[in-house]
Amino acid sequence: MKKLDTLFIGFMLFSMFFGAGNLIFPPFLGVQSGTSFWAAMAGFIVTGVGLPLTVLLAISLVSGGIQTIGNRVHPIFSTTFVVAVYLCIGPFLAIPRNANVAFEMGVSPFLGEGVITSLVLFIFSALFFGLVYVISLNPAKMEKYMGRFIAPILMVAMVVLVVVGLFRLDAPLQSPVEQYESGAFFKGFLEGYNTMDALAALAFGIVILSAIQKRGIQDRKQLTNYTLKAGFIAGLLLTFVYISIGLIGTKMASSGSFNDGTDILSAAATLLFGKGGTALLGFIFTLACFTTVVGLTTACGQYFSKLLPKASYKMVVLAVTLVGFTLSNLGLAQILKVSVPFLVTAYPLTIVLIVLTFFSRFFVSKKKVYGSAILFTGVFAVIGGLNAFGLDLGPVQKLKNMLPLASVGLEWVVPAIVGTGIGLVLSRLGKKDSYSDDEDAVAKAS
């Protein structure tokens, strides 16, 4: 495969990852972390860049991707978990979130008084999802549209905003808010969940592997190699964006109080460019959110059309766009309120599954190790998700709060290690699994 092809696939991957969460959370982290910015941003990059790329690598190592990995726990768990992830990063959360953010940044600032916002949102989302539907129908051309055209345009617009912002905004760093006074790295680590990119990588892995395979690459080791190269390109671009707009956030901290990252970037763009800055930022947000929605819609179409033989790819894409269109009219606040508890539950399970994948060749019985680790992790991941909904679980809550790392939101780590240890003991005492799925491929490539 040509180097230029790898570059464009990397650009396509970047444009698919680069959506609403990638823009709204780093500047808010910058405002809140202040002098603790670099520690907080390091944690954010671990889960916002490092984890998604690790997920892509794991997917490339195993034929069948996350479905096969989940089967090592149990087929029912695998299907339930993967379906939940696709619905989350697809029509129920990430897609409507991106569409709504595109409206809030690209259209809402230009509406005059007396305009019925809900009606304009309806019209905008109808046009937005109509275009998403048309482009998603031909996934073979995604690399051309997104890698060769949209991603470079998006990067040029981002560079203009960032370079001017870093040169003209010179306010000193403020003291961090209470959450970032100690444990800034772990706070940033948890904030990285909000990008949803590690979950998106579970789906995007199929799209990227398909793009590589269409260039005649079928060998598993070569697929992994090219996936790593494309992922590295996307990761560098994401890291640049996160650090840059995070720094803009630190320089805007003294300019007032802000509700979220969109407020910060809007204020910065207006300060730097006037009304033209509002238009530039709206263009960036709309383009970024659009490319992510196309990527997610395509991934959902490919997965569910295989899971449900009677549902064609075209039917699934139509269903995803219709549901996304409907939910995007609920408003951003409602969407974000629902997304956080799910992410707090899903991310620990994803991390454990992916980590175990890289060591699976050492397990006598993968089912026992995976099953035990996911059981112990899942209990506390679900408790964390319920807490995020505002539920206090009484005695169970006290037990959770006693665990190491509970103060930084990582109470599931020790149970995951304990569960893995128990699984290893049971694995040594039992028989070897009767199947090996892609154990050999993992061993050769790692």
Which tokens go with 445? 């490539």
- Return the HEC string of the chain: CCHHHHHHHHHHHHHHHCCHHHHHHHHHHHHHHHHHHHHHHHHHHHHHHHHHHHHHHHHHHCCCHHHHHHHCCCHHHHHHHHHHHHHHHHHHCHHHHHHHHHHHHHCHHHCCCCCCHHHHHHHHHHHHHHHHHHHHCCHHHHHHHHHHHHHHHHHHHHHHHHHHHHHHCCCCCCCCCHHHHCCHHHHHHHHHHHHCHHHHHHHHHHHHHHHHHCCCCCCHHHHHHHHHHHHHHHHHHHHHHHHHHHHHHHHHHHHCCCCCHHHHHHHHHHHHHCHHHHHHHHHHHHHHHHHHHHHHHHHHHHHHHHHCCCCCHHHHHHHHHHHHHHHHCCCHHHHHHHHHHHHHHHHHHHHHHHHHHHHHHHCCCHHHHHHHHHHHHHHHHHHHHHHHCCCCCCHHHHHHHHCCCHHHCCCCHHHHHHHHHHHHHHHHHCCCCCCCCCHHHHHHHC
Domains of the chain by start residue, with CATH:
3-330 (1.20.1740.10), 333-446 (no CATH)
Task: Specify the pLDDT at position 11.
Answer: 87
Q: What is the pLDDT of residues 194-209, one digit of tens each?
A: 888 888 888 777 778 8
| Mean pLDDT within 27-52 | 94
CA distance linking residue 127 with residue 429, whole number of Å? 59
Asked if the model's pLDDT at residue 437 lies above 80, the reply is no
| Mean pLDDT within 347-375 | 88
Which tokens go with 411? 């109470």
| Mean pLDDT within 418-443 | 70
CA distance linking residue 233 with residue 2, whole number of Å? 15
Measured N-to-C along each axis, helices 220-252 and 3-17 cross at an angle, to the nearest 10 degrees, of 50
Asked if the model's pLDDT at residue 430 lies above 90, the reply is no
Q: What is the pLDDT of residues 326-346, one digit of tens each?
A: 988 876 666 666 677 888 888
| Mean pLDDT within 135-150 | 74
CA distance linking residue 253 with residue 36, whole number of Å? 13
CA distance linking residue 52 with residue 56, whole number of Å? 6
Contacts of residue 379, defined as CB under 8 A and 6 or more positions apart, other chains included, come to 415
Please say whether the beta carbons of 252 and 27 come within 8 A: yes
Task: Specify the pLDDT at position 32.
Answer: 94
Asked if the model's pLDDT at residue 435 lies above 60, the reply is no
Asked if the model's pLDDT at residue 433 lies above 80, the reply is no
Q: What is the pTM of this model?
A: 0.80
Asked if the model's pLDDT at residue 446 lies above 50, the reply is no
The pLDDT confidence band at residue 315, using thresholds 50, 70 and 90, is: very high
Alpha carbon separation from 244 to 186, 295, 327 (Å, rounded): 20, 24, 31
CA distance linking residue 9 with residue 190, whole number of Å? 28
Our measurement of the distance from residue 207's CA atom to the centroid of its chain's CA atoms, rounded to an integer in Å, reads: 15
Highest mean pLDDT among 136-140, 192-196, 391-395: 192-196
Task: Specify the pLDDT at position 110.
Answer: 85
Q: What is the mean pLDDT of the chain?
A: 85
